[in-house]
A and B are shown apart, each in its own frame.
Chain A
C-alpha cells in the first residue's frame, strides 16, 4: 500500500487522485453517519429498530441499476458472485459499509497541507 501511495503522491496526477480518494472517504463516512442517524431516529420515534441495508439504500436510490447489475452478474459472470457474495454484502447495514469504507479511505489518504 505504501508503494501505491508513494507512486500516487509522486506526481501531480497522483496527488490529485490521492486527494480524490480521501474526499470519497469523507463522503462515504458522512453518508454512513447520516444513515446511522436515520436508523437511530427512526428507532427512537417508532420504538422498533429497522436496519437500512445497503441493498435497500441502492434500491431506493436507483432500482434499475441494482436490477440490471444483478442480471448481468448472475447471467454473464457467475450466479454465485451475486448470491451469496454480493447479495450477502448488500444485506449489511449501509452505515457499516459506507462507514468502514470511509474510515479506511480517510485514514489511508489523509488531506495534507502543502509545503
Chain B
C-alpha cells in the first residue's frame, strides 16, 4: 500500500493565495509605508532639530518675597451675601487656558516661574516704565476685599482677594488724556505653559477695560488670596478682579498694562466673538448662546442660586453703562 507523506512545504492548490489578493496586500503595505513616512517626516525633522538645541536650565523658585505683607486689613465696604467659599475650591477649580482647558490645571500651573516678574506700563502715558512686581506691590495700598466671582460657565464663588485698587495703578501710570482703554496682557511662555504651544490660538491672553471701568472703585488688582500671596493657578503674582463682569475678563498673571486709544480685542473675542464680547457684564436675563445665565452653581455647595444683575454690584457700576445703545453690554 502506498502511503503518501507530504513534506512540510507541500500545499494543496486550494491553499494558494489568489494573485489579486497577494498584490492587494503588497499595495496595502506600500500604502502604509508611504503614508507613514509622510506622517512621520515632520516628527523626525523636529527630533533632529531638538537634538541640536541646548537644554534649558530651570532655577529653583524662591519663596514669595511679599509673604510678609499678608494678611492685610479688610475693607469693610465690600460685603458678601453668602459664606466665603472654602479655600480648597478656588485653589483647585480653575480656568487658566495657558495650561489647558480642563479644571485640574492647578498642578500644571506650578511650572510657571513667578519671580523675577516685571510689569510694563506703557502706551499713552507720560512715561513708560517697567517695574519689578514686588516693588509695585510694596508701593500700593494693600487691602482685603470680599468679592463674589461669577464665571461665564455659570458657577460662582465668594473669595477674599488681597490687593490694591486699580485706580492706584492708573494714578501711577499717569495716562494721557487721549487714553480711553487699558489693555492687559498675560505672560507668554510656551516652554512652561503647554496651552501656549497650541500656537494657532492668539496668545498672549489679552483683556481690556475702559478708563471709566479701570478707575471704578470695584476694579481691583489682586496680589493675594485667603490672607496669603496669590497662588500660581489663581494668576500670580498679580491679576485683575472685576466682580461685575464674567470671570474671563479677570486677566491672570499680568505682565503689561497698555493705555490705548483703540478698544482692545480680547482673546475670547478673537476666538468666539459671537459668544464672548468686550463688555461681558453679568445679566441673568441675557443667556450665553449655549446656556442660561439665570442661575449659578456655588462652588463647594450643592446650591444653585439666582444670578444677580451685575453680580449684585449694580449700585457701584450701573451708571457706567447708561445710554450705551448698540453695545453688547452683557456678552
Contact = CB atoms under 8 A, between A and B. Distances in A.
- SS class, residues of chain A in contact with chain B: helix
B198 A2 contact: no
Nearest to B41: A96
A107 B38 contact: no
Given A5-B24, A55-B198, A103 B101 contact: no
A107 B198 contact: no
A79 B27 CA distance: 37
A106 B34 CA distance: 11
Contacts of B201: 59
B194 A84 contact: yes
B5 interface: no
A16 B104 CA distance: 45
Nearest to B27: A107
Contacts of A30: none
Interface in A82-96: 82-84, 87, 90-93, 96
Given A67-B272, A96-B39, A96-B42, A91 B197 contact: yes
A63 B24 CA distance: 40
B122 to A, nearest CB: 28
Contacts of B28: 1-2, 107-108
B38 A99 contact: yes
Q: How large is the interface on A (under 10, 10 to 19, 20 to 34, 35 or more residues)?
A: 35 or more
Interface centre among B31, B38, B197 (most CB of A within 10 A): B38
Contacts of B199: 53, 55-56, 91
Contact of B103 (A75, A82, A97): A75
B197 A87 contact: yes
Nearest to B31: A107
B100 to A, nearest CB: 6
B304 interface: no
Q: How large is the interface on B (under 10, 10 to 19, 20 to 34, 35 or more residues)?
A: 20 to 34
Contact of B34 (A58, A92, A103): A103
B204 interface: no
Nearest to A52: B200
Contacts of A53: 199-200
A63 B198 contact: no
A83 B97 CA distance: 12
Nearest to A64: B272
Interface in A63-115: 63-64, 66-67, 70-71, 74-75, 79, 82-84, 87, 90-93, 96-97, 99-101, 103-104, 106-108, 110
Contact of A92 (B25, B43, B104, B197): B43
B32 A104 contact: yes
B154 to A, nearest CB: 14
Nearest to B104: A79
A106 to B, nearest CB: 8
Contact of B38 (A59, A66, A90, A100): A100
Nearest to B24: A2
26 contacts: A2-B24, A55-B198, A55-B199, A55-B200, A59-B200, A63-B271, A63-B272, A67-B101, A67-B272, A74-B101, A75-B103, A79-B100, A79-B104, A82-B100, A83-B100, A83-B197, A87-B194, A87-B198, A90-B200, A96-B39, A100-B35, A101-B35, A103-B34, A104-B34, A108-B27, A108-B28
Shortest Cβ-Cβ A-B pairs, 8 listed: A107-B31, A104-B35, A100-B39, A100-B38, A74-B102, A59-B200, A56-B200, A55-B200
